[in-house]
Amino acid sequence: MSLIDSISGKLLSKSPAEAVLDISGIRFRINISLSTYENLPDNGADVEILTYLHVKEDLLDLYGFKDLSERSLFIHLNSVSGIGPRSAMNILSGTDPNKFKNQIIDGDVKSLTVIPGIGTKTAKRIIVELRENFIENSLSKNELGFLDDDTNNALIKDVNSALQSLGYKTNQINNTLSELNKMGELTGSIEEVIRKALSKMI
């Protein structure tokens, strides 16, 4: 994790690519994505931005994010060979983190190449290097908003496996289970939950 987890201060200026915060007379220039820019308040307002400090030789660059999901995806992208922090920020500006993760899980090269900065070779490399990691995390409470309960998580995994065996894609399953969870219907036996999920998928 980055040395500087977040920065709080007065927003002096902003653009689709960067924001400048004043903290007790010290001005920090932070690289941001388009989605982060769209979530910033008006100039002069107090704001907190999640950050990642990128250190390379004699260069220090500070990157800012609207939420943990965006920062997490940035860190994962930055770990892919051939993708640096600026390329990762460009990718973030052209997609939604959860949608992007589902495209990787599904191995959807065509959809990934629609995002600015991602060609066919890069898309395949991202899928190869990140897919397994995202599959492992796709059932966590951070991804789907489920309760931190071992029994609940075990049920989700069993339902997910059953639905995958029926030919449903991971992103379709995740979206359906998220909907059931929000409606308070992610309860009962595995057979009952599967029936509920299938009724939503028809």
Show the DSSP H helices in 48-149 as ranges: 68-78, 85-93, 97-105, 109-112, 120-137, 141-144
Q: How much is the pLDDT for 191?
A: 86
CA distance 58 to 49: 24
Q: How much is the pLDDT for 136?
A: 66
Q: How much is the pLDDT for 65?
A: 95
Question: Residue-wise pLDDT tens for the chain (202 aa)?
Answer: 567 899 999 999 999 999 999 999 999 999 999 999 999 999 999 999 999 999 887 788 999 999 998 999 999 999 998 899 999 999 999 888 888 988 898 888 998 999 888 999 999 999 999 988 787 665 544 444 443 444 556 777 788 888 888 888 777 787 788 788 778 787 888 888 888 888 887 6
Residue 45 Cα to chain centre, angstroms: 26
